[in-house]
Structure 1
Amino acid sequence: MSGSELDLIGGVPFLDARFAPRRLMAAVVAVRQSHAARAGLPSPADPSHLLIPEHACAVRFDASEVPSLPLSQDEDKGVSDALGRLEEAMPMWTPLLWSLPVRYARIASGTSLSASSFWWPQHILLGAETLASELEMREHVLHEHCHQWLYLVEELWDIDLPGAPTFTLPSGTSGRSPREVIGAAHVAAALVRMYNAVGEEQQIGPLKQYGWGCIQLLESPQVARYLTPVGAQITQRIKEEL
């Protein structure tokens, strides 16, 4: 990635040891200040307050709230416990797990295991099945943190082109933009690292197969044409990791 935009932030979150989370967050604060000024919104006295989820949503012009319910005290503790287990397995991820303010909530309806959205920044929603399982919590808390950090990268640089069509993931999930395919591959690569660290090798083969399926889709002519240079750089880095 020599000479790439990603060098400015040290690479790809959860994949590169030199990734600089505070540098990325500072750049995102500057972008959000610009958005707030253009919209005529008051800027907080402390610019870092733009990293508070409520402020992040307020300066997102196309913000779209995801319906959710508050977590119970026990569920909130379950999130903290999952973060602690991830930190124990991957100490180098500590800043990625704790430094970005995130609001956790329960998915209001449906059977999804977890969810988040670029258009409702710094909110992570967890499904009932996930909240009831320590193993699911560990995986899906990591899954959604991967998305949150990649969303921050997307606030600096587009990773796919406006108007790109949607595609079907290797899992069969349809209607996914190229950047969502990148996000799926990124999650797979991070989970492979985590499961390697905790010695749960049975999980690694299916994740690698899924990740490679995403990479093959991203490198196909019908998708690659819609990736920006930064999108292509991230794809290449994930490919190297897988």
Structure 2
Amino acid sequence: MSAKLPLLDESFEATQLMDAVSRKRMQQAQLLGLVMKEDATDYLHPETASEVLSAIYGATEATDPYACNSSELTGKFKELTTEATEKVFAGVPTWHALQKLPVAVMLTPCSTILSYSCICHPQHIYLGAASFQGENVEFVAENILHEYAHNWLYLLQEISPFSVDRWRMMYTLPSGTPNRSVTAVIDAAYVAAVLRYYYSKLDKSDRRRELTAYVAGCLMQIRNDPDLTRVGLSVCRRLCEVIATSD
């Protein structure tokens, strides 16, 4: 049986996932001895979420070179981000319900990346200044959607990991990025599938074909990975089904 996935399946129960994640974070905060919030919904606040997950993974913004010294968006960067975000949700109106998930969009001083997100810093998107070069709204929109998709998949992983962390096999993404775990490959395939879905709504067939090939290239590599969990396999099956459709 394949999983229902956010941003790809209109029937996906986003509120149900958010409720489950918030309750689990509250339980984890108690086990970690963190200062407790009054209500489980407080754990959907990006800063509170990051506090819990950073404690679990032992990685804070201060120790993350891509998130370190990040700041709020201002001026033209903020304007472009707002315009780009509106463009994304206008392109796929059924996604509006997913905006209930609070996401903090930050500017990273790291000059080597376009955008970044990490399960250690849930519900955070870090944009590099390079994303805004040329003030191309479509380019900013793709980078935002890329990381927004990652953040939704991280929520699923908080509830049920996609793989057993044995790291027995490592992979190279179709883009050439080496040394990726099986979970990282699923993440990459999922993001590409979401972008594919988005561009199909905009009738950009060339970009859609490129992304179809990318998703297939990811899934072909990991189809026999021994460390995939039942949930990981279910996600892979759904991604296979998605790219087999014409949208």
2:198 aligned with 1:194: yes
How many residues of Structure 1 are paired with residues of Structure 2 in the alignment? 231
1:54 matched residue in structure 2 = 47
Q: Distance in 1 between matches of 2:71 and 2:38?
A: 31
**Shift, 1:77, TM fit:** 2.5
**Shift, 1:17, TM fit:** 1.1
Find the residue that maps to 1:87 and give its secondary structure. Answer: helix
**Shift, 1:29, TM fit:** 0.7
Residue of structure 1 aligned with 2:173, choices 137, 160, 169: 169
2:38 matched residue in structure 1 = 45
Structure 1 segment 205-224 matched on structure 2, within 5 A: 205-219=209-223, 221=224, 224=225
Q: Distance in 2 between matches of 1:15 and 1:240?
A: 11
Per-residue CA deviations over 1:208-234 (Å, capped at 9, x if unaligned) read 111110011121x3xx21211100100
1:22 matched residue in structure 2 = 15
2:140 aligned with 1:137: yes
Q: Name the aligned partner's letter for residue 64 of structure 1.
A: T
2:149 aligned with 1:153: no
* TM score, norm. by length of structure 1: 0.90
**Shift, 1:111, TM fit:** 2.6
2:193–2:215 contact (8 Å) kept in structure 1: yes
**Shift, 1:180, TM fit:** 0.9
Q: Distance in 2 between matches of 1:180 and 1:42?
A: 31
Per-residue CA deviations over 1:75-115 (Å, capped at 9, x if unaligned) read 2222221121111110111122x211111112222332111
Q: Distance in 2 between matches of 1:155 and 1:191?
A: 22
1:234 matched residue in structure 2 = 235
Q: Name the aligned partner's letter for residue 37 of structure 1.
A: Q
Q: Distance in 2 between matches of 1:105 and 1:166?
A: 30
* TM score, norm. by length of structure 2: 0.89
1:128 matched residue in structure 2 = 129
Find the residue that maps to 1:126 and give its secondary structure. Answer: strand
Consecutive unaligned residues in structure 1, runs of 5 or more: none
Percent of aligned positions that are identical: 34
Q: Distance in 2 between matches of 1:88 and 1:103?
A: 20
2:64 matched residue in structure 1 = none
Q: Name the aligned partner's letter for residue 141 of structure 1.
A: I
2:76 aligned with 1:80: no
Find the residue that maps to 1:13 and give its secondary structure. Answer: coil
Consecutive unaligned residues in structure 2, runs of 5 or more: 62-66
Q: Distance in 2 between matches of 1:194 and 1:143?
A: 11
2:109 aligned with 1:113: no
Q: Distance in 1 between matches of 2:77 and 2:89?
A: 18
Find the residue that maps to 1:59 and give its secondary structure. Answer: helix
Q: Distance in 2 between matches of 1:45 and 1:195?
A: 41
Find the residue that maps to 2:147 and give its secondary structure. Answer: helix
**Shift, 1:70, TM fit:** 3.0
Q: Name the aligned partner's letter for residue 115 of structure 1.
A: Y
Find the residue that maps to 2:118 and give its secondary structure. Answer: coil
2:189–2:218 contact (8 Å) kept in structure 1: yes
Q: Name the aligned partner's letter for residue 171 of structure 2.
A: F
Q: Name the aligned partner's letter for residue 212 of structure 1.
A: A
2:109–2:129 contact (8 Å) kept in structure 1: no
